[in-house]
Structure 1
Amino acid sequence: MQPMNDFDFLAGHWTVANRWRTDFLDADSDWEEFPAVTHGTRHFDGAASFDEIDFPTKGFAGLTLRLYDPERAQWSLYWASRRTGTLFPPVTGRFEDGRGEFHGEDSHDGKPVRVRFVWSGITEDSARWEQYFSTDGGENWLLNWTMDFSRAA
């Protein structure tokens, strides 16, 4: 697959099993599980990907726009939440050997954080997304959210 088609797998309907820490910055916080549903589409011959996700038990939704930059051979991923109506700062990166890793700068609860997204375990019917935060410039990473995707019937 060409790099600009890395996110083609997300096209279609998915159910998502979410697991997140009750405090994204505390390694000792509890984990909470909840469902989601998402629908992804592919655009620009695979160089763009869009999905909208709904978290029905949480009362919020969001969307992700992914754009491939062929000059840099990397993706930029932009998240927006219906709660805020704004785009979050992008994470950028690429896939290597079936695993995508993306980094960026953001803040959480007023604290600056480095963010890492990881896509892995990608098949026709499943995928995994993980979110990590670092408060020390990337020296240490805390896994704080996972999503396990299953293709909807």
Structure 2
Amino acid sequence: MAGDFDFQIGSWRVWHRRLKMRLADCNEWEEFDGTCDMRPILGGDGNIEDNVLHIASGSYRAVALRSFDPVQKSWAIWWLDARSPHSLDVPVIGRFEDGVGHFYADDRFDGQPIRLRFIWSRTNSASPRWEQAMSADDGATWEVNWTMDFTRA
């Protein structure tokens, strides 16, 4: 539904945990903080999430842009990284069921085809979580490579 992301409206502190290398049997994680401000757009049928990420090499900004299709009853989510300002990532498409959102896309990583998955969980709590995973075997196995834990600012 169009209000699926209402839990995230407002300002947040974000704790990021990200694999240092993806799809490389890496078990070494980097952790860093950030902030996020989310607001509705498109009369409530979309939203924009403005992020500041404080990684070791220097802070940067990125946005998640989301839009709801009421006919398909699904969301599309795009990621725009200020370090590549003319390149939108492929959208992940999906929906929420029982407060958990699952979103998928076919993409490429290091020139190879992959499946991409976002999961939004704990949406009815004070600390929602987002995670990203990739699959190099068409979804048979998944590598979670980035999590974001949100707390109200």
TM-score band, normalised by shorter chain: over 0.9
**1:4-153 pair list within 5 angstroms:** 4-57=2-55, 58-85=58-85, 86-123=87-124, 125-152=126-153
Quote the sequence identity (%).
39
Counterpart-to-counterpart distance in 2, 1:41 and 1:70: 19
Deviations 1:47-67 (A, max 9, x none): 101011011234322101100
Aligned residues: 150
Is the contact made by 2:93 and 2:104 (CA closer than 8 Å) also made in structure 1?
A: yes
Q: Secondary structure of 2:21's match?
A: coil
CA contact (8 A) 2:19 2:146 kept: yes
Contact 2:20 2:26 in 1 (8 A): no
- Unpaired runs of 5+ residues, structure 2, are none
Q: Are 1:63 and 1:79, in contact at CA under 8 Å, matched by a contact in 2?
A: yes
Runs of 4+ in 1 over 4 A off after TM superposition: none
SS at match of 1:137: coil
| Distance (whole Å) between structure 1 residues aligned to residue 130 and residue 71 of structure 2 | 26
Contact 1:7 1:46 in 2 (8 A): no
Q: Quick one: distance in 2 between partners of 1:131 and 1:7?
A: 17
Residues 26-58 of structure 1: CA distance to partner in whole angstroms, max 9, x if unpaired?
Answer: 333301111010110012332101011011234
The aligned amino acid for 2:79 is: W
> Which TM-score applies when normalising by structure 2?
0.92
Match of 1:26, SS state, is: coil
RMSD: 1.3
